[in-house]
Amino acid sequence: MVIGNPPYNKERDNAQLFEPIKKSNYQKYYQGKMDFWYLFLHRAIDIVKEKWHIGFITNSYWTKGSWAKTLIERIKNEITFTHIIDFDSLPVFQWVSGKHMIHMYKKEKASKSKKTKYLKVENLNFSIEGIDDKKAEKIESNQLIKDNLTISFDSSINIFEWKNYQKLDDLFEVSQWVVEATDKISKNQLKENTNFKVWDWVFVLNKNEVKELNLNEDEKKLLKKYLNTSHVNRYWIDFKDEYLIYSDKLIKEEIKSGKYPNMKGHLDKMKQFITSSNQPYWLHRFRKREFFENPKLICKWMFKTPEFYYDKEWYFVGFSFSVIINKEPWYSLKFLLWLMNSKLWEIWFERYGKKRWVWVDIGVWVFREFPIPIVSESQQKPIIDLVDQMLLAQKKLKEAEFDDDKKIIEKQIEIIDRKIDDMVFDLYGLSEEERKVVLDK
């Protein structure tokens, strides 16, 4: 048997650690953004004999990560889960936060006849023998690894095994948004500099700051309406008159040359707080204009329940968002919004996203795997009409002044919401039992 508690070192912060790996026999297992501990499991698979066992304790984020697909594919092909002890967010190690798990394997191919024993630990006062008693859930080992090479220990009725669908990535373009670096001064950045305050504006300005900078008309054209995560909600936004200084490679040179003197003066003053590798006149990561100068879905990366919005007014957002635009014109963004904001897809995100306490963390790769049913434009039409009703109702609710009016509109929104969920259930052909699973969740 091989057992281990390997070191957790993500490539993002430890690039030099991976350089020797890229030149070794283990380069075939290298994958961008991977964790160093994956290589220890690869090594264990190499050295353990057939029918022998492997046991590791590690974090559990890898089970949902695109950066672990090489490892998960090898697990699928060469070894079988025998036992899982899921600690979730319990503090297993005194100085290490996060989610952890013990995962145990046997070197043999997974099959329907083989069962994996899964135990979700509620507190740290448990006996290791508990994994073998009646508290442990038994799951078919060949069902743990999904087609998209993620791992799920949820053995409840599977409502996500459809055949007649396409991945979102086939129909829409998905991208992370701009990386400001930084939008405002943080407490950690301020230190002892008393000339500035926490939350002073850097690449993002409010309307008062815009006024104080006395920007000319050309400089104002560099400002783009900006939303942060507190401004974006399910079917509605709350714009707070904040603006992003949108600077790409070309604009950077124009600022540097003095074409925009007031903007240059502001960024020069804030240079010490700008962490961008393109400082001080260029955003750390800018995105193609097509991602904001077209109708789009604005999608938070992290949420308790889905909070996505349809935008056609060219709002800009930061790195805490993904943005989705059309690739194929016959699939409507509003149709996609209808799916993604539904109760059914709240459960899908919980299953395939990364759980961070009460939040779900959804990266670009998860959005790209989102399964969209194959439907015609005519089938989408009543759904788009329903989304338009919801968008209008949310707008009216935000503008309503009197409580009685708000109550009437809130009731209308509840009715539309029920219609949305029912239509999603119908579209995916869910049985009554499957609908109950979703609603009970």
Per-residue pLDDT for 340 more than 90? yes
The mean pLDDT of 397-426, rounded to a whole number, is 94
Q: What percent of the chain has pLDDT over 70?
A: 87
Q: 3-state class of 31 per DSSP?
A: coil
CATH 3.90.220.20 fits 160-176+296-441, yes or no: yes
- Range list for CATH 3.90.220.20 in the chain: 160-176+296-441
Q: Among candidates 288, 203, 296, 191, which has minimal Cα distance to 244?
A: 203
CATH 3.40.50.1370 fits 2-155, yes or no: no
DSSP 23: T
Task: Answer for the pair 47, 4: CB distance below 8 angstroms, yes or no.
Answer: no
Q: Please tell me the distance from the alpha carbon of residue 358 to that of residue 355, in angstroms, as a whole number.
A: 7
Whole-model pTM: value is 0.71
| Structure confidence at residue 158 (pLDDT) | 61
What is the b/e burial string over 115-150, where b = at least 16 CB atoms within 10 angstroms of the residue's CB?
Answer: ebbbbebeeeeeeeeebeeeebeebebbbbbbebbb
- Range list for CATH 3.40.50.150 in the chain: 2-155
Q: How confident is the model at residue 364 (pLDDT cuts 50, 70, 90)?
A: confident
Q: Please tell me the distance from the alpha carbon of residue 39 to that of residue 51, in angstroms, as a whole number.
A: 21
Per-residue pLDDT for 179 more than 60? no
Q: Among candidates 242, 251, 318, which has minimal Cα distance to 280?
A: 251
